[in-house]
């Protein structure tokens, strides 16, 4: 990627821990709390190399079953790889990213990338939105317009927000930590620093997946100025439900909607956490997804069985390969 910032020449960086985490020091180490414009520009030779590596994928044998019970099916990942190599246009995604204001600032020794779009409407509420895994700020691009300019989408001016969308440390264009400790509470504290640095005395927060965990921690910490939080992933269930999940048998007094929710939780905890166990225990072992674009794409697809089934059915390749390109080249 190429980071274009104030008072600096272009600094071309590779996706290594030392390069990316030291962007600030290389540019202006004396002003660690500065906010610098950021422009996304992947060198063409890196994109060509990415396509070459996709084309030279060494494929495994086909799965021995006729469903997705053994993981991402060979036919699905080969279709995605073909599209990624021959049809996908990263420059379109890059243009969308550069169409909104992007910035870099250093918080607690780490460069944090974020999108910041101010509403034209008076008294817009500042909102910080946090993505999850396997995701990125790309997933939030579609909500910027309706939030900052609700009148263009049938809403009211008083419903407007100023939107801040940061990249979690280690994701996308944010720096990669070189030591342990960047857990959800620490990231939550960093987000509070970010909102204060942007000049917002009052604001709200929203998140999903890991973004929900981070947002919940913001609520727990209750920093001055945080008015409220919203998450779309509840990380707590009643004690009796938690006990029932261990036996895979729902309580008899559940409503139809509650029973469905129980079944979805049971399905996820039974079939959808294999990736999380590996990443939580031995993340350094996952060299293959750093080296192989197709290996990374398959890993992203296999987030959980239900999600994979939906993606395979609709083949919404554009978003997944956008994230795969971002992850593979940063």
Structural domains of the chain ordered from first start: 38-93+272-330 (no CATH), 100-236 (3.40.50.1820)
Q: What is the spatial distance between Cα 317 and Cα 77, in angstroms, rounded to a whole number?
A: 10
Query: Over the stretch 28-78, which tens digit does the pLDDT of each residue have?
Result: 444 478 999 999 999 999 999 999 999 999 999 999 999 888 889 999 999
What pLDDT is attached to residue 233? 86
- Helix intervals (H) in 153-284: 184-197, 210-221, 239-247, 256-271, 274-281
Question: Strand 110-117 relative to strand 102-107: parallel, antiparallel, unpaired?
Answer: antiparallel
**CA–CA separation, 184 vs 168, rounded Å?**
10
- For a pLDDT cut of 70, what percent of the chain falls above it? 85
Residue 76 in contact with residue 11, Cβ under 8 Å?
A: no
Return d(Cα 306, Cα 318) in angstroms, integer: 19
Burial of 318 (0-12, 13-18, 19+ CB in 10 A): middle
- Residue 321 confidence (pLDDT) above 90: no
Structure-block tokens of residue 193: 């620093």
88 dihedral zone (left: phi>0; alpha: psi -120 to 50; beta)? beta
pLDDT band at 330 (very low <50, low <70, confident <90, very high): low
71 vs 215, which has greater pLDDT?
215
pLDDT digits (tens, 9 = 90+) for 159-191: 999 999 999 999 999 999 999 999 999 999 999
d(CA 222, CA 224): 6
Over residues 238-248, mean pLDDT = 92
E strand or H helix that includes residue 78: helix 74-86
Q: Tell me the two tokens of residue 328.
A: 């593979």
């Amino acid at each position: 990627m190429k980071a274009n910032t104030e008072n600096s020449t272009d600094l071309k960086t590779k996706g290594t821990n030392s390069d990316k985490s030291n962007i600030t020091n290389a540019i202006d180490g004396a002003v660690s709390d500065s906010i610098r414009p950021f422009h996304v520009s992947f060198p063409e030779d890196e994109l060509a190399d990415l396509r070459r590596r996709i084309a030279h994928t060494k494929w495994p044998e086909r799965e021995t079953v006729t469903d997705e019970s053994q993981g991402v099916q060979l036919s699905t990942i080969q279709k995605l790889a073909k599209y990624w190599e021959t049809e996908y246009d990263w420059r379109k995604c890059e243009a969308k990213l550069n169409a909104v204001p992007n910035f870099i600032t250093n918080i607690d020794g780490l460069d944090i990338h974020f999108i910041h779009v101010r509403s034209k409407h008076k008294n817009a509420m500042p909102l910080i939105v946090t993505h999850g895994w396997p995701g990125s700020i790309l997933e939030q691009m579609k909500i910027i317009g309706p939030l900052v300019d609700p009148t263009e989408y049938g809403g009211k001016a008083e419903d407007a927000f100023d939107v801040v969308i940061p990249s979690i440390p280690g994701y996308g264009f944010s720096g990669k930590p070189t030591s342990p400790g960047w857990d959800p509470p620490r990231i939550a504290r960093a987000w509070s620093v970010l909102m204060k640095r942007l000049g917002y005395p009052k604001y709200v927060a929203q998140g999903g997946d890991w973004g929900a965990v981070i947002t919940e921690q913001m609520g727990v910490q209750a920093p001055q100025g945080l008015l409220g939080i919203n998450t779309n992933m509840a990380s707590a269930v009643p004690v009796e439900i938690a006990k029932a999940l261990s036996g895979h048998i729902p309580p008899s007094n559940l409503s139809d909607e509650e029973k469905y929710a129980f079944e979805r939780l049971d399905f996820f905890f039974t079939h959808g956490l294999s990736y999380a166990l590996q990443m939580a225990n031995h993340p350094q072992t996952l060299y293959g997804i750093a080296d192989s674009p197709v290996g990374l794409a398959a890993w992203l697809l296999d987030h959980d069985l239900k999600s994979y089934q939906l993606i395979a059915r609709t083949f919404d390749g554009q978003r997944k390969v956008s994230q795969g390109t971002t992850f593979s080249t940063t």
